[in-house]
Amino acid sequence: MATLGWLLYRASELRGRVIVLPVASVEEHGCLPAATDYLLGLCLGERLEGVEGVAVLPPLPYTLCAEHPVCIDAGEAWRLEAYLEAVAASAARISGAGVVLAVTHGGAYHAAYAAARSVSRSTRVRVAVVNVVEEAVRGAGRAGCLEHAGVVEASMLAACGVWLGDCMAAGLEAECLEPGSVQPWMHSDYRCSELYPSRIAASRELGEKAWRTVVERIRLIAGRLLSSR
């Protein structure tokens, strides 16, 4: 997390680039930092540095996470949707090429999706949404599992050089959440432990694997947005 080179765009340099806007949170993350999703957004910016035609803005730190006892919450979903819509519309007007809302906190995904649809229609600039953690879980070989404060996020932080203290010292392991652990508004037809019976430990190697999938996904979307102008 040492370099801020990816933030040193001049205003004129944003025009014609696909603008990537990470949408994060500050919330309960077990033994992981409360700002885990925000740190992932920062790391995403570093990993996209140098990608042609892409500019990454600083992460938005607060979203929807009221189900957690410790959280900084934006309130009702419509407030977050309106906020994301306004920010994405501004980015779309500046860019002219396209916007990617890179959601590192799943609780913001539906508001981001609704905002992207609205802005794409009103500005005629395409706005895409990427669920960063879902892509990372797929890249880590655990597709279909609900991941929160678990082994994949821990591995992604480790790959970004974030010291995890007791989490890594204890050899953090995590199974995918069982249906009994899933919030009632989340859908699950299966037991993830039946899909992936083996437990996996957090590691920098696993984090790098997850990050490669995330970066490649955003690179692909950005390329399509640029080519469709």
Q: What is the pLDDT along the chain (229 residues), one digit of tens a residue?
A: 445 677 788 888 899 999 999 999 988 777 788 899 999 999 999 999 989 999 999 999 988 776 677 788 888 888 999 999 999 999 999 999 999 999 998 888 889 999 999 999 999 999 999 999 899 999 988 877 766 667 888 899 999 998 676 665 444 544 444 444 545 445 454 455 666 666 777 889 999 999 999 999 999 999 999 998 7
Two tokens at 200? 């996996």
What are the structural domain ranges in the chain?
A: 15-222
So what's the pLDDT on residue 175? 41
Q: Which residues contact 161 (CB under 8 A, 6 or more apart)?
A: 1, 2
**What radius of gyration, in Å, describes the C-alpha atoms of the chain?**
17
Q: What is the pLDDT of residue 10?
A: 87
CA distance 8 to 10: 7
Which amino acid appears at position 139 of this protein? G
Query: Is 130 exposed, middle or buried, given 0-12, 13-18 or 19+ CB atoms closer than 10 A?
Result: buried
* Architecture label for domain 15-222: 3-Layer(aba) Sandwich (3.40)
Is the backbone of residue 98 left (phi > 0), alpha (psi -120 to 50) or beta?
left
What pLDDT does 2 receive? 45
Runs of H (alpha helix) within the chain: 11-14, 36-48, 77-95, 109-123, 132-139, 151-159, 166-169, 192-195, 204-227
Predicted confidence at residue 102, as pLDDT, reads 98
Nearest CA to 25 out of 14, 37, 13 is that of: 37
Residue 64: predicted pLDDT: 79
pLDDT score recorded for residue 205: 93
How high is the pLDDT of residue 184?
Answer: 46
